[in-house]
Amino acid sequence: MTNGNYRWVIVAAGGTLGCVAIGCLFSLPVFIIPINESTGWSRTGISGAMTFAFLSMALGSILWGMLTDRFGPRLVVLAGAVLLATSLYVLSLVQSLTAFQFIYGALIGSSMAAFFAPMMATVTGWFDTHRSLAVSLVSAGMGMAPVTMSPFAAFLISTYDWRTSYQIMAVIAAVILIPLAFLLRRPPSLASAQMAASADLPEQRSMTTRTALTSYPFIILALTNFFCCATHSGPIFHTVSYAIACGIPAMAAVTIYSVEGIAGMAGRLGFGVLADKLGAKRLLVSGLLIQAVGALGYFYAHDLATFYTVATVFGFVYAGTMPLYAVLARENFPLRMMGTIIGGTSMAGSLGMATGPLLGGWIFDTTGDYGWLYIACFGMGIGAVLISLMFRPFPAQQEPVLVPSR
């Protein structure tokens, strides 16, 4: 198979890997009430496990990204797959909240970082044309998690207890993720140091990793990703519980999450096509503004129809914006350090994602309602818009102009 054809195998494998891995991580919103009722652990404590997971993802993102730059995506994703499957099984055996938080937070969270940044870095390297579309397709695969894995998790928890459900998910993760990891390859342009150097733009060839990570474009990109993820993490994690608190039956509440996921797939594809035509930055700023308004929309949702409407808009936009960070990274930084750069921006995003679960759990335990969570998310969303407006790409080096001698 030629490289031109095999790059789409990379896209398909990346999308499937992301779907299963992200689906395992986000099973917790579906399991939170059964775990609370079974163990007596507080919602804040259980939600805190997700916060710890995102903190581990933050640390792991740049580490796994650097390892991807050095060893390639296959070994990194394979290690993440083994760690995830093992951690899910061990999680089903814990007897204390502290152990639950450690396994879920430190181990499962760390394993997640081995999928997103390495895959995004790999895919951007395989594509010179249709790059935004390719990245969006991988992201769309990850967005399939609410449509596939979340309903499956809901089925498991309605049939088995939460411990057995996690054991089943551990087996599924191992069977699907480990074989797919062997399909991954380095981008052809990184086959040798000479080819890697030629893949960079002239203004990127002298750039070091330290220079890149301390540059103005990287800092603005990372800060934007932080506030973007802080905006949607709370609504993503707590929407099911919020809908149940509004009197919507549990199985119907899970479908809100699925609607958000379906809309997200459309958003990833739509934003990917538009970014190739209109530019990633312009689309990012617009998407962040709509995302902020969408987060506030949940404050006014109390019936199923309104939840579906808000979930459609919110899911379409927040999911559509996420692949744009990888596109902007590839447009501004050398391919040879793409794992590190995307890992760094992903680290900032994971820190942002860590705020929502704990904040939402604390607000509910304090006020008995989720209303202030969505107001806070709206504020953080506006912050993301303002920061994104400050993004400036590196100035392109001018080629020397040769003046003919007289």
Check whether 130 has a pLDDT greater than 80.
no
* pLDDT of amino acid 399: 39
For residue 372, pLDDT over 50 is answered with yes
Pull the structure tokens for residue 349: 């995003």
Measured at the CA of 150, the angle between CA 144 and CA 155, to 5 degrees, comes to 135
3-185+207-388: which CATH architecture? Up-down Bundle (1.20)
Q: Are 106 and 51 in contact (CB under 8 A)?
A: no
Confidence class for position 377, pLDDT limits 50, 70, 90: very high
pLDDT tens per residue across span 303-312: 999 999 999 9
**Per-domain residue ranges of the chain:** 3-185+207-388
Nearest to 16 by CA among 61, 77, 57: 77
Is the pLDDT confidence value at 173 over 90?
yes
- As a whole number of angstroms, the distance between CA 1 and CA 7 comes to 10
Confidence of residue 200 (pLDDT cuts 50, 70, 90): low
Q: What is the pLDDT of residue 191?
A: 58
Taking the alpha carbons at both ends of the chain, their separation in whole angstroms is 54
Q: 376: Cβ–Cβ under 8 A, 6 or more apart, which residues?
A: 234, 359, 363
Q: Out of 66-70, 97-101, 393-397, pick the least confident.
A: 393-397
* 123 contacts 10 by C-beta, under 8 angstroms: yes
pLDDT digits (tens, 9 = 90+) for 7-25: 889 999 999 998 999 889 8
User: Whole-angstrom Cα distance, residue 92 to residue 90?
Assistant: 5
b/e burial code for range 367-387 (CB count within 10 A of at least 16 → b): eeebeebbebbbebbbbbbeb
